[in-house]
Amino acid sequence: MSGQEREPARIPVIAGNWKMFKTSAEGAAFIQALAKELGEVRGRQVVVAPPFTGLSEAVKAAAGSSLAIAAQDVFWEWEGAYTGEVSATMLADLGVTAAIVGHSERRRYFAETDETVAKKVWAVLEKGLMPIMCVGENEEEREAGLTEEVLTRQVPAGLGSVRAEDCGRVCIAYEPIWAIGTGHTATPAVAQEAIALVRHEVGRALGRQAADSVRILYGGSVSPHNIDELMAEPDIDGALVGGASLQVESFVRIVDFQTP
């Protein structure tokens, strides 16, 4: 669908990644306030990803609202001697419906690899959850002209265990690492070019129908000031939001993006 209007079946996703912010009580209060401000959400899916410690209370606070709750990470085994890890089985038991996988900070600080990302994507899908699989290049790779090389490696590797028919349940988040938390956002044209490449790689790996159904988000200093322009691009199906998801007012504005 690159260069054309967005596939109607691709409902936009706005996901807020809180990272290591907000206690359980703070998160529950935030979600209650957010749900009240948003009311009934139509035409888009809203996801909030608190820290592990806040997931249970977040699920309770979101009950009866249009908000879905995601985890910020997951382990690929169902159970076992894996100190400190949390399985997709445990997340599903809490009522969590999605999980972020392979975020750049997990890759950078905690040795996530394309192989472990693929295992996590598989585990999340197997338990009926929605994976939000992150891909993207860092500043050094971008300056060296390696963006295409990075994406053509990460995308098919991460989708290695995904069936084509399951791509409608998958989100991929393109995060130019050089834009995360820096205030330097990729221009809509740059984001569109990279995300069109991601969609192309999905098609190469799993076929055209899979490429048309997978939802691809942009993540990297998303704000109320740039969301409308980003969402006007044909291949951008939503946003993975960091800092701007920590304030109700700014996140509501992002959820309420307007396109021509």
pLDDT score for 5: 56
Tokens of 56: 């249970």
**pLDDT for 2:** 40
DSSP 2-55: TTSPPPTT---EEEEE--S---HHHHHHHHHHHHHHH-S--SSEEEEE--GGGH
pLDDT value for 182: 67
Could you tell me the sign of the dihedral formed by the alpha carbons of 221, 223, 226, 229, in that order? Answer: positive
pLDDT, position 36: 97
SS3 69: strand
Task: Report, as ranges of residue numbers, the positions in the chain whose pLDDT lies below 70.
Answer: 1-8, 181-185
Q: 58-72: per-residue pLDDT in tens?
A: 999 999 999 999 999
Residue 23: the pLDDT is 98
| Per-residue model confidence (pLDDT) at position 6 | 56
pTM metric for this prediction: 0.94
Position 3 scores a pLDDT of 41
From the centroid of its chain, how far is CA 180? 13
Instruction: State the chain's mean pLDDT as an integer.
Output: 94
What confidence score (pLDDT) does residue 4 get? 47
Question: Which residue numbers are catalytic?
Answer: 103, 175
Output the pLDDT for position 8.
Answer: 60
At residue 67, φ and ψ (nearest 5 deg) are -90, 140
